[in-house]
Amino acid sequence: MPLYRFHIDATAPPQAVTERLRRAVRKRPGFGEYFRTMWSSRSSGGPPFIGSVQDHSFRIRRDIRYRNSFLPLVWGHIVPTPTGARVIVTMFMPPFTLVFILFWLGIVGRGALMVKSASPAILWGMFIFGIALCIGGFIPEAVKAKRLLSTIVLDSPR
């Protein structure tokens, strides 16, 4: 299932990289804020990520204006290197979505393998559709998040 790992090497010290990330991340919205903004349009000028940034680690996700159950969770940590800092990132599918998809694919796959009376083509089609749905919902969002994160981490001080 979708899991994407990479690292970004920056010439800035770890503290500077952490501050760059903090400027690009806002706190998770509370229920009241989420409910108020559900039907109204939000401004696009805010930070591109939601989550938290600690001294040497972060847990974030992109702040999107649409629904996507496959939006990657982005976890990472910042380690010092002789030339600056390395940001090690892991992106993965939300656990509830992953469990649901695995359950659904398991039921459909078992049905496709065990069916005796009818053609299992429909079940195999559903199985392939489920995999394509996961990949098609996760990969483009992971690429966008990686691009944004790289831009933030490698940004020169202003």
What are 8-28's pLDDT values in tens digits? 999 999 999 999 999 999 988
For residues 92 and 134, give the distance between their C-alpha atoms in angstroms, rounded to a whole number.
11
Beta carbons within 10 angstroms of residue 32's beta carbon: 8
User: Are the C-beta atoms of residues 60 and 25 closer than 8 Å to each other?
Assistant: yes
Query: pTM, whole model, 2 decimals?
Result: 0.84
Residue 122 confidence (pLDDT)? 87
In which band, very low, low, confident or very high, does the pLDDT at 41 lie, cut at 50, 70 and 90?
Answer: low
The answer on pLDDT for 44 being more than 60 is yes
Residues 96-106, mean pLDDT to the nearest whole number: 94
Q: Percent of the chain scored above 90 by pLDDT?
A: 69
Residues 118-143, mean pLDDT to the nearest whole number: 90
